[in-house]
C-alpha cells in the first residue's frame, strides 16, 4: 500500500463530529477530492497543494502542551510537516515529525486516528498545506530537545495556548482534550 492509499483510507475513516459547524466534513471531502485528482498529492512538489502530517505533543498528567516557535513562520505551532518517501503511513509521518521536532523519544499517538484537519495557504509554488492533525502523548519525564526547524520549544499550560498560538492550534488542543 502506498502512502497515498493510506491517506485516502485514513481520510475515508475520519469521522468529524456532526453539528460542530467548523467545516471538518467539508475539509475531509476536499482532501479526498484532492487525492483523487493528484497522484502526487502527498508530496511537496504538487503545486496544487499537498497533504502534511502534524501532531500536538501533549502531557495530560501536567496539563500542558509542547509547541515549537517555527523558524520560518515565527509562530507557535504543533510539530509537523511534509510527508517523506520513507513514511509508510500518515500516522508514521506525524509521529516522525513530532519526534524529530520535539526531540522527545517515546511519543505515542493518541488512539483513534486524526484529531482534526486544517487547510492553510503557503507561499507558491506549493500553495496549500492539507494538514492531517494527530495528538502525541509525551511519556513521563519527557524532556524536549530543539531541532534546526525551531527557534524555540516551550511547554504551555492548556489555558496559555490561546494567548500564544493561532485558532488552529487552539482548536486542535480542544479536540484533543475532548478525546482524553
> Quick one: average pLDDT of 79-90?
95
Residue 22: predicted pLDDT: 82
Phi and psi, residue 11, nearest 5°:
-70, -35
Has residue 171 got a pLDDT over 90?
Answer: yes
- How many angstroms separate the CA atoms of 135 and 108, rounded? 8
Question: Residue 18 — pLDDT band, cuts 50, 70, 90?
Answer: low
3-state secondary structure of 6: helix
Residue 19: predicted pLDDT: 47
Has residue 165 got a pLDDT over 50?
Answer: yes
Has residue 148 got a pLDDT over 90?
Answer: no
> Quick one: average pLDDT of 123-133?
87
Secondary structure E strands in 98-164: 108-109, 116-121, 128-137, 150-157
Considering the chain, what percentage of its residues have pLDDT values greater than 90?
Answer: 83
Number of H helices, E strands in the chain: 5, 8
Question: Residue 16 — pLDDT band, cuts 50, 70, 90?
Answer: confident
Contact 170, 78 (CB under 8 A): no
Residue 130: predicted pLDDT: 96
> Quick one: average pLDDT of 8-29?
86
Residue 158: predicted pLDDT: 98
Sorted by sequence, the CB contacts under 8 Å of residue 169 that are 6+ apart come out as 56, 67, 76, 77, 78, 161
Q: What are the b/e assignments for 112-146, b being 16+ CB within 10 Å?
A: eebbbbbbeeeeeebebbbbbbbbbbbeeebebee
Residue 90 grid coordinates: 500518515
What pTM did the predictor assign?
A: 0.95
What's the mean pLDDT when you consider all of the chain?
Answer: 93
What one-character DSSP code corresponds to residue 20?
-
Contact 179, 131 (CB under 8 A): no
What one-character DSSP code corresponds to residue 115?
-
Amino acid at each position: 500500500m502506498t502512502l497515498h492509499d493510506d491517506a485516502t483510507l485514513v481520510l475515508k475513516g475520519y469521522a468529524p463530529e456532526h453539528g460542530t459547524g467548523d467545516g471538518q466534513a467539508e475539509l475531509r471531502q476536499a482532501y479526498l477530492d484532492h487525492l483523487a485528482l493528484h497522484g502526487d498529492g502527498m508530496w511537496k512538489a504538487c503545486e496544487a497543494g499537498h497533504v502534511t502530517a502534524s501532531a500536538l505533543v501533549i502531557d495530560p498528567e501536567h496539563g500542558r502542551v509542547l509547541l515549537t516557535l517555527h523558524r520560518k513562520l515565527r509562530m507557535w505551532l504543533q510539530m509537523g510537516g511534509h510527508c517523506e518517501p520513507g513514511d509508510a503511513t500518515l500516522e508514521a509521518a506525524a509521529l516522525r515529525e513530532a519526534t524529530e521536532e520535539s526531540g522527545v523519544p517515546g511519543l505515542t499517538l493518541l488512539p483513534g486516528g486524526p484529531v482534526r484537519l486544517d487547510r492553510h495557504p503557503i507561499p507558491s509554488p506549493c500553495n496549500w498545506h492539507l494538514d492531517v492533525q494527530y495528538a502525541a502523548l509525551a511519556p513521563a519525564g519527557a524532556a524536549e530537545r530543539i531541532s534546526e526547524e525551531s527557534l524555540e520549544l516551550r511547554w504551555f499550560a492548556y489555558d496559555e495556548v490561546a494567548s500564544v498560538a493561532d485558532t488552529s492550534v487552539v482548536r486542535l488542543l480542544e479536540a484533543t482534550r475532548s478525546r482524553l
